[in-house]
Amino acid sequence: MPSGGVHPITVVWGFNQAWGTITDALQQALQARRGTLPEGIELVLSGHIHLWEVLSFADQRPPQFVLGNGGTLLSEPLTIQFAGQQIGGLEVKRGRSYHGWGYTRFAPGDTGGGWTATVYDFTGGLLFSCRVKAADVDCR
């Protein structure tokens, strides 16, 4: 996130089983920046696709979290293997999705920076957590 605060944007990079990758308009807008986001962004948070998804990239761009599982009809579940997929000319290093209603809490990481994203189901039950550090995401 930029140091000046949170600046929400729609999905920059994300998969959707029914539509493939739904990033055409934003990819065209990013062409002026040679496909990169502004300096200082550590993490991209968005919605729009109605499921939960996280992607990290081989070229060390900021990870993309899609947090669209908060209460409307869910999109079809993703059945792809994320690692090695291409999206917007980028190679996905790691990814994970969750098909179910719920929410995510973000907290600053422990020593050394980064973030911890903890994913809960709609009853508040803990599902899993992801550590975000240095443009990489590891979910367990």
In a structure prediction context, what are the per-residue pLDDT tens digits for the chain, which is 140 residues long? 334 444 444 556 677 655 555 555 666 666 666 666 777 878 888 877 788 999 998 988 889 899 989 988 898 898 889 999 987 778 999 999 999 999 999 999 877 788 999 999 999 999 999 999 888 999 98
Is 131 part of a structural domain of the chain? no
In a domain, 8, yes or no: no
Domain holding 52, by residue range, is 15-99
Domain assignment present for 113: no
d(CA 112, CA 26): 32
Number of structural domains in the chain: 1
What global pTM score does this model have?
0.79
Whether residue 49 lies inside any domain: the answer is: yes
Q: What percent of the chain stands above pLDDT 90?
A: 36
In a domain, 88, yes or no: yes
Give Rg (Cα) of the chain: 14
Question: Which H/E stretch holds residue 105?
Answer: strand 102-108
Report if residue 135 sits inside a domain: no
